[in-house]
Amino acid sequence: MTSADYLHTAYLLAKKANSKEIRPNPFVGALIVDATGEIIGEGYHKKAGEAHAEVMAINDAHLKNKDLSSTTLYVTLEPCSHTGKTPPCTNLILEQKIPKVVIGSMDPNPLVSGANILAEAGVQVELCLLPEIEALNSLFIINQMKKRPKYILKSATTLNGKIADRWGNSKWISNEQSRHYVHDVLRNNADAILTTAQTVMKDKATMNIRATNAEAKELNLIIIDRELKVLTPENKNLPIFYDRKESKIYLLTDQEYTNPLPPNVEIIKTNFDAGAIDLSSINEKLLGKNICEILVEAGGKLNASLMKQQLIDELILFICPSLLLDKEAMNVFNDPAFQTIEDKVQLQLIETKQFDNDLLLKYQLI
């Protein structure tokens, strides 16, 4: 087996982790391979605050061979060199006298310099960077490099880009299979949904996770509500105010509110520029609440605003086999500003899926 083969095996181990259980940490898998090429230890990071993949692999190897002085450690991410909830993995690697470490991707965290520390201590460090490993940790990379959550914008549209009729009615543009995917995958992977007060009041939506053949699960909800309309008496029975035990509703406003708040509701003060919210002022605060991935479910105005702020990392469109011919029907992006073809937003298609006659197109912004 080549270094890439061993790292791919470690990558498959890393993928076993539940993303929500390891956040804000990355997916990491590790192997210990002896001088004959046999894998004698393996492990992956399973839960934030618990043992890292390298520790798991070394402990596994000790069950078969206590002497690791002629082994190679294959790890999908550069070993950590700082003390967080667990000690630095570089210290353990040096203590075990492992002579060679092969790394599948570099850690974007500026606090990590594990490769240099190991090399300076005499360990042979080999880089074998694999694109699938970097793609697996796209969330972690965005969190670390941009100091903000990853934003995924999801919308279901007609063939001509309409998300609702002129009165805001949108049930249902997409089919049942597509809607199941939204709950089973997109909402289930997200730490919060971002929407507007207008959307939750109009749709009377619960905004939780209703996965197939499972009980409904809570999900944090972030609502742009400058006027704090959802807190008015006539909205006290909105479905979003279900009994929350593990999640919160975060209301984004620039206004003061002195009345008692409903249970599990928190106000976050942020900036509004000409009526449009500026999320850059609260992104680090959201990240501090372990909101690492946000699913945007909103109307054309907010969709366009977030695009213009270059906050959207992935765009997921369910293209559905119908047309709304009314010119006043609502567009997936709705910005009043003049835009030329030279100013178009450029996208890269990264995934497609089909749900009966609905087509899912997943894009990254270039």
State the catalytic residues.
Answer: 54
| C-alpha of 27 from chain center | 12
> What does the alpha-carbon distance between residue 235 and residue 57 come to, in Å, rounded to a whole number?
53
Verify cis geometry, omega within 30 degrees of 0, for the bond prior to 167: no
Instruction: Give backbone dihedrals phi and psi of 232, rounded to 5 degrees, phi first.
Output: -75, 150
Three-state secondary structure string covering the chain: CCHHHHHHHHHHHHCCCCHHHHCCCCCCEEEEECCCCCEEEEEECCCCCCCCHHHHHHHHHHCCCCCCCCCEEEECCCCCCCCCCCCCHHHHHHHCCCCEEEECCCCCCCCCCHHHHHHHCCCEEEECCCHHHHHHCHHHHHHHHHCCCEEEEEEEECCCCEEECCCCCCCCCCCHHHHHHHHHHHHHHCCEEEEEHHHHHHHCCCCCECCCCCCCECCEEEEECCCCHHHCHHHCCCHHHCCCCCCCEEEEECCCCCCCCCCCEEEEECEEECCEEEHHHCHHHHHHCCCCEEEECCCHHHHHHHHHCCCEEEEEEEECCCCCCCCCCEECCCCCCCCCHHHCCCEEEEEEEEECCEEEEEEEEC
Distance CA 65, CA 132 (A): 31
Structure tokens at 281: 């002022």
**324 contact partners, CB below 8 Å, separation of at least 6:** 158, 160, 162, 165
Cα–Cα distance for residue pair 165/319, rounded to 1 Å? 16
